[in-house]
Structure 1
Amino acid sequence: MNIFNRVKFSTPENVELELTLAGIGNRAWALLIDYFFLGLILLFFVIVGLIFSFIFINFWTNLFGDQAPVWLFGIAIFVNYIIYSGYFVFFETIWQGQSPGKRLAKIRVIKDDGRPVRLTQIALRSLLRPIDELLFIGAILIMFNRWEKRLGDWLAGTIVVQEQVPNLSDSLSISKAGEDLATELLENAYLSGLLPDDFAVIKEYLQRRYKLSQKGKHDTSLRLARDVQEIINFPELPKDISTDDFLEAVYLAYQQQSSYSSD
């Protein structure tokens, strides 16, 4: 396995995006962090469950008789499994492919085609997680296949990649109209809806647009601008703003927002 395994995608806007797979080290670190948080959650529920069981011991005894301890143990195992699986499903759904551990390790689950992961894929990955972690089957598979997939990834059609963090030292030519619109976007647009991978696509287009034919540049810019408008909930462009100006503004505003967040 290569230390840094990279994959390439062609987006619907005909922009080529190259991502780096997360690697076994990053994924193990993320899992350790998740297990720490998950352990705290499970400990809380165990304590609450014990208190609840003792308070209502007569109820459980009347309901299950002499088999009450066995039933309570079975219920505890079931609840723990739901919490264990639900932890990853919940966070990776609301954080678009990231659990707390993945967020801190700066990695993310995406679909094989580079698109954001959905609830279906997240649930399928979680179903096979216990099998992947049995005898380190998942870790072995990750180390010995090019796409660094465990069983859950093969079933769900997902990969885990390193987060594409905006590089604030990057500089592109930004028009005056783009700079003015960037200020408005910071105030009125939902820039948090943009994933770092979306930012990478915008950056890739802005860097390579002058190599495209006039028609290719126009079509790509228009499709990309429409997609970004929908993501950031910015319904209509000013009449004097071109799609390139808009994409430049989004690029600049996203960089500035990231800079504020890191301060």
Structure 2
Amino acid sequence: MNNLQINTTQNVNLNYTIVSIGERILAFLIDAFILYLYSMLVNLIGDAIGYVYDDRWTQRGLVALIFLPAMFYSLLMHIIFNGRTVGKMLMKIRVVKIDGSPVHWSNYLTRWMLRLVDIWLFLGAIGILTILFSDRKQRLGDAAAGTVVISTKQKTKVSHTILEEVEDTYVPVFTNVTMLTDKDVRLIKETFRIAKKSNDYKTLKMLRDKVDSILLTNSELYDKPYLETVLKDYNYFTQQL
């Protein structure tokens, strides 16, 4: 698999793994199976409508209306769930912008429209070939939209990285933590871990003073919660692509 370095809107460099064509195909098949089940449901509803309405045009119109969400499934899922469909969620992959900026709905629309060429024309041969011969594993839709599909799987333990566990509802306290670099945060976390484990309050105080001299927060938090908050805030902002 290839790696991709993305510079976020907070000027933080993040490294991601570009997914293989196999993972993308599996995600597509999962979505296709979901749409198949939905189409079966629509057929059952269509039969029920036939008992209620005698007019054939009314029957066809209602069935077409019910089936409409399936036609826009991929587009709507990507827009609503931030670059993911059910298949992508299960495979832990996601569509992101190469330049690190948020993916706009127009980017998803471009990808969706070019599915006609990439996937449905020649039974997906064009999409497969463009992915295989692209350095960033992009199909035509990705290339046109400036997107790439990455893996969101965490391959290392959080305790071994600069990452901190952050709840979905977490609200950051220090918005200027992006002044720090990955190297800074890695050093802060390791020093904090060792000092906290050994109850080295002197080192905690020195570390807190050093960080505060950079961020100029003037926070009234005690040393431990202060440093924990800095680490959580940094992780929160780096996840906001």
Q: Shorter-chain TM-score: which interval?
A: 0.5 to 0.7
CA distance, structure 1, for counterparts of residue 152 and residue 88 of structure 2: 9
CA distance 1:204–1:142, shift in 2 (3 Å): farther
- Contact kept, 8 Å, 2:84 with 2:93, in 1: the verdict is yes
Identity fraction in percent? 27
Q: Does 1:147 align with 2:136?
A: yes
Is 1:112 matched up with 2:98? yes
Runs (5+) with no aligned partner, structure 2? 173-179, 190-209, 237-241
Asked if residue 247 in structure 1 is aligned to residue 235 in structure 2, the reply is no
Amino acid at match of 1:51: A
Of 29, 37, 41, 2:38 maps to 41
CA distance in structure 2 between the aligned counterparts of 1:50 and 1:204, rounded to whole angstroms: 63
Deviations 1:89-110 (CA, angstroms, capped at 9, x unpaired): 2322232111110011111001
Instruction: Give per-residue Cα distances to partners, 1:110-137, cap 9 Å, x unaligned.
Output: 1121234232222222222232112221
The residue identity in structure 2 corresponding to 1:206 is V
The verdict on how the C-alpha distance between 1:54 and 1:90 changes in structure 2, with shifts beyond 3 A counting, is: same
User: Number of aligned pairs?
Assistant: 202
Following TM superposition, by how much is the alpha carbon of 1:75 offset from its aligned partner in structure 2, in angstroms? 8.0
Q: CA deviation at 1:19?
A: 1.2
Structure 1 residue 10 corresponds to structure 2 residue 17: no
Deviation at 1:151, TM superposition (A): 1.9
User: How far, CA to CA, are the matches of 2:162 and 2:152 in structure 1?
Assistant: 25
RMSD over aligned Cα, in angstroms?
4.1
Taking a change above 3 Å as real, the CA distance of residues 205 and 165 of structure 1, as seen in their structure-2 partners, is farther
Structure 2 counterpart SS, 1:117: coil
Whichever residue aligns with residue 207 of structure 1, its letter is R
State the TM-score, normalizing by the size of structure 2. Answer: 0.65
Instruction: Tell whether 2:23 aligns with 1:26.
Output: yes
Pair 1:94-2:91 in alignment: no
Distance between the aligned counterparts of 1:154 and 1:56, measured in 2? 47
Look up the SS of the partner of 1:170 in the other structure: helix
